[in-house]
Amino acid sequence: MAASKKILLVEGESDKGFFEEICKKLSLDASVLVAPPIDLGGTHNTKGGVSNHLKILLPQLDDGQISHIAVVVDADYDQNGGGYQRTMANLTKIVEPFGFVVENKSETVSGICFKNTNGLADLGLWIMPDNKKEGMLEDWIKSCVSESEQELFQQAVQAVDQISTPKFKPHSYSKAEVATWLAWQKKPGQGLYATIENKLLNDEYPLFKNLEEWMVKIFP
């Protein structure tokens, strides 16, 4: 791995496609590798897989194999053993032995930044959707749907809500809503990357701008 490699560690393939488009938008695609654990030699693409593989990547900052690391994971839900506080505590516990300390615990709206006591580059963390609430990437997307797409998106929300016997679990409603909305676009079946590629979101919304500012800060 090249000494200048910058890695954005994500949970899975859908997240990878989405953030690759974000990197293109910010002209970071040539310098930042967006990858889920399996792409980097990990065992499984999940939130737990991210935590496990982060422990492998962190020592590579010390020996220079990697220069920058950022992590994006879903907060998920308290009732399922997740939630923002648990997620934050778990990842903080992993990075602290490597000299990383949260920059300002009270200001996480614009993303989380860990400063390093040994002079290494800042480590970034974004807990979807907004570094405070329960949820996932799809909830972030829902908060950024453009005005021109709102009518169609609300129809998708209503369609999902009217399913008499949904097979998915209650915490997956956001995934179903976004997937339904994307299925009604000009090219049905595209992944989350299409929300960026096809300009379906409003990049002037605060949550969108906060994410972009965080990425530019972590990957200067």
Q: What is the pLDDT of residues 27-70, one digit of tens each?
A: 999 999 999 999 999 999 999 999 999 999 999 998 889 999 99
Instruction: Give CATH 3.40.1360 domain extents, the chain.
Output: 6-134+203-218
Q: Residue 66 contacts by C-beta under 8 Å, 6 or more apart in sequence?
A: 1, 5, 6, 7, 57, 60
Locus of tokens 């405070």: 132
- Residue 106 confidence class, pLDDT cut points 50, 70, 90: low
CA distance 3 to 208: 30
Long-range pairs for 109-115 at CB < 8 Å and ≥24 separation? 109/210, 110/210, 110/213, 110/214, 111/210, 111/211, 111/213, 111/214, 111/215, 111/217, 111/218, 112/88, 113/214, 113/217, 113/218
Least confident of 94-108, 123-137, 183-197: 94-108
**Residues in the chain, overall count:** 220
- Within 10 angstroms of residue 161's Cβ, the number of other Cβ atoms is 11
Q: Taking residues 171-190, report their average pLDDT.
A: 96
At residue 84, what is the residue type?
Y
Tell me how many helices (H) and strands (E) the chain has.
8, 6
Q: Does domain 6-134+203-218 have CATH number 3.30.70?
A: no
Q: Tokens standing for 98?
A: 């490597």
